[in-house]
Amino acid sequence: MSRARNRRRGWSWWYLLFVLEFPAVLWPPFFNRIEPTWIGLPFFYWYQLLWVVLGVMIGAIVYFATQD
Amino acid sequence: MAHVDWIALIIFVLLFGFITWLGFAAARWRRGDLNLLHEWGLGGRRFGTIVTWFLVGGDLYTAYSFIAVPALAFGAGATAFFAIPFTIVSYPFLFLFFPRLWNVCRKRGYITAADFVRGRFGNRWLALAVTITGIVATMPYIALQLVGIQVVVGALGISGSGLAADLPLIVAFIVLAAFTYSSGLRAPASIAIVKDVLIFFTAIYAIVLLPIKLGGFAKIFAQVPVQKILLAAPSAHSTGAYGAYATLALGSSFAVFLYPHAFTAIISASSGKAIRRNAVMLQGYSITLGVLALFGFFAIAAHLDQLPEFARGFRQFGNNFAVPALLLHSFPSWFVGIAFAAIGIGALVPAAIMSIAAASLYTRNIHREFINRKPTDLQEAQMAKWVSLVVKLGALAFILFVPTQYAIQLQLLGGIWIVQTVPAILLGACTAWFNSWALLAGWAVGTLVGTTMAVAAHLTPAYPLVLGGYTFPGYTAFYTLLLNLAVTIVLTLIFNAISARGASPDETLASDYQA
């Protein structure tokens, strides 16, 4: 019942997972550094590219958790 | 005439020939009556998850971004990487808002964002504001795609004077115009698949071989000045480059899917589910974009701007020449041909979608609304086809006769303008609470102040906002969206207080937004 109501309102608590991405990639003090490097890439670059992969994973979790 | 690389040129021309044929053949793909606007302009809303992935991917990750993002990395360094957080945080908006918009557009027969705003808020002038914003923001974008073609054609060694110099661009334009006219959205959808195969091949091949050739990432980054590798740390009383980086990424993410070409490509999907799946799968492209951004650093490490054979190219195209020069410098001709074709074809896909989207906007929300209220289906589709030609002609004229710098500056302003439609379109997908005149006022204030701030910042994206002795350099679009929202909310409260609310102008139902 509450699930049906939620679906009608179009809201799911799973959506809050998306919120994680915002501070992670929009707060440069977290990642504006060279060390640790990975295969020679400065942290700044591989950290943000890693978040592309994490973004896909978060999207996939939310997709499967909220599909009918 | 400069040295022409014949092998590269032949491969380039053959691939272009192939997609020209494909563009025309696409008219028969998932056949529909192309004399209906939603068939011509939306492919009949029949594109499933996979085709939508190619179409929207080809639409957003354009040739220009594949040239300009590495060029920015080459010239300015780390700040170019804002494109990565920008794409990461934009996909939640696609996931959350667009399935709702897709549902209401299909149920009500809307084709453009302005159609939706007209139905949701019942105000033709607000819809007109959305329409004009969309068209004006799209025009310089089309022009910049043609710059992408210009750069690779120049890099192939084709040059001349007067009309001959522009001939390849004119030919590409005629091809583009002809297949868009005849096949509509089906043409870029099919060509996008070829473009992606070529782009992925180029990116993977180059990202594996280039670091090996240049001695590994550690050696490459050792050659890059430290101030280009990282963002400059802010001084005591400023958020400095950090604030600019974050607001540039966030401000761009609100608006990216509201560009008419993005909206059109997304709404042409076959279901809300296909859109949600794509909000996950499209992020794969961001890896490609990140890889290409790194090419800018490879170009620094290879000291390409000091090589005499590239002096001419850098003089003519500036930093935009960095990627073509890197490919020419590092790879055999056959690969250069494929890579340049990928960039050139990558320009045709978004240019086609942009002209279709702008044409649909004009036809639906200006011509039908203000000039001929009762067009037949045939007249409507025919009008859109003609307008798509006019739009492309305008973009071509722009590139041929106006310095490229103006197109870049207009595109920057376009980003500030398009974000002003966020309250009406994106928030409108969730609520009809806003008063339509308040939305229009918020749009006007945001557009005016945004333009003024951008001019004051010498047409750079970041405006140094000073508050209480602190400086907050940030993306003008981001600041003016906040202003727009404040105006919209305050005026909605005032209008609601002084006038008893009559019947809601909203023609859509809550159930229209659900699958």
Band of residue B157 on the pLDDT scale cut at 50, 70, 90:
confident
Residue B317, phi then psi, degrees to nearest 5: -110, 0
Cα separation, B41 vs B35, in Å, equals 10
Total domains in the fold of chain A: 1
| pTM for this entry | 0.91
Output the six-digit token pair for B209: 């071989």
- Residue B1 above 50 pLDDT? no
Q: Please tell me the least confidently modeled range out of B56-70, B245-259, B409-423, B471-485.
A: B56-70
Three-state secondary-structure class, residue B238? strand
Q: Please tell me the least confidently modeled range out of B161-165, B248-252, B480-484.
A: B161-165
Contacts of A36 in chain B (CB under 8 A): none
Interface mutation vs chain B, best among A9, A21, A22, most B CBs within 10 Å: A22
Q: What is the identity of the amino acid at B428?
A: G
Q: Do A60 and B280 touch (CB under 8 A)?
A: yes
Helices (H) then strands (E): counts for chain A: 3, 0
Contacts of A23 in chain B (CB under 8 A): none
Give the chain A residue whose CA is nearest to the CA of B275.
A63
- Residue A16 in any domain: the answer is yes
- Residue A56 in any domain: the answer is yes
- Residue B459 above 90 pLDDT? no
Give the chain A residue whose CA is nearest to the CA of B429.
A10
Question: Which residue among B280, B294, B514 places its CB closest to the CB of A63?
Answer: B280
Scan for tokens 């780390």, then name that residue.
B78
Query: Residue B470 gets which letter from DSSP?
Result: E
Q: Do B246 and A29 touch (CB under 8 A)?
A: no
Contacts of A26 in chain B (CB under 8 A): 85, 89, 246, 249-250
pLDDT per residue as tens digits for the range B241-298: 999 999 999 999 998 999 999 999 999 999 999 999 999 999 988 998 998 899 999 9
Q: Do A32 and B233 touch (CB under 8 A)?
A: yes
Q: Do B88 and A51 touch (CB under 8 A)?
A: yes
- Residue A22 in any domain: the answer is yes
Tell me which residues of chain A have a C-beta less than 8 Å from any C-beta of chain B.
Answer: 7-8, 10, 15, 18, 21-22, 25-29, 32-34, 37, 39-42, 44-45, 48-49, 51-53, 55-56, 59-60, 62-63, 67-68
pLDDT given at position B160: 65
Cα separation, B133 vs B150, in Å, equals 27
The whole-angstrom distance between B323's CA and the closest CA on chain A is 19
Give the chain A residue whose CA is nearest to the CA of B281.
A56
Range of the domain at A44: 12-66
- Residue A7 in any domain: the answer is no
Question: Which residue among A26, A41, A44 places its CB closest to the CB of B230?
Answer: A44
Output the six-digit token pair for B219: 């050696």
Question: What is the mean pLDDT of the segment spanning B78-85?
Answer: 93
Q: Do B290 and A40 touch (CB under 8 A)?
A: no
Contacts of A28 in chain B (CB under 8 A): 231, 241-242, 245-246
pLDDT per residue as tens digits for the range B346-379: 888 899 999 999 999 999 999 998 998 888 888 9
Contact B289, B283 (CB under 8 A): no
Tell me the β-bridge partners of A38.
A41
pLDDT given at position A4: 47
Contact pairs from chain A to chain B, CB under 8 Å: 109
- Residue B171 above 80 pLDDT? yes
Q: Do A27 and B246 touch (CB under 8 A)?
A: yes
- Residue B340 above 60 pLDDT? yes
Q: What is the identity of the amino acid at B269?
A: A
Contacts of B220 in chain A (CB under 8 A): 40
- Residue A6 in any domain: the answer is no
Contacts of B245 in chain A (CB under 8 A): 28
- Residue A2 above 90 pLDDT? no
Q: What is the identity of the amino acid at A17?
A: L
What CATH class is the domain B6-214+250-413? mainly alpha
Contact B430, B97 (CB under 8 A): yes
Q: Do A42 and B84 touch (CB under 8 A)?
A: no
Q: Do B100 and A10 touch (CB under 8 A)?
A: yes
Q: Do A49 and B84 touch (CB under 8 A)?
A: yes
- Residue A1 in any domain: the answer is no
**DSSP H helices in B268-376:** 272-281, 284-301, 308-317, 322-330, 333-361
Band of residue B500 on the pLDDT scale cut at 50, 70, 90:
low
Contacts of B515 in chain A (CB under 8 A): 68
State whether the Cα torsion B303-B144-B284-B28 is positive or negative.
Answer: negative
**With b meaning 16 or more CB within 10 Å and e meaning fewer, what string describes B222-260?**
eebeeebbbbeebeeebbbbbbbbbbbbbbbbbbbbbbb
Cα separation, B214 vs B384, in Å, equals 50
More confident residue, B147 or B482: B482
Output the six-digit token pair for B24: 């025309």
Q: Do A39 and B216 touch (CB under 8 A)?
A: yes
Band of residue B411 on the pLDDT scale cut at 50, 70, 90:
confident
Band of residue B220 on the pLDDT scale cut at 50, 70, 90:
very high
Three-state secondary-structure class, residue B485? helix
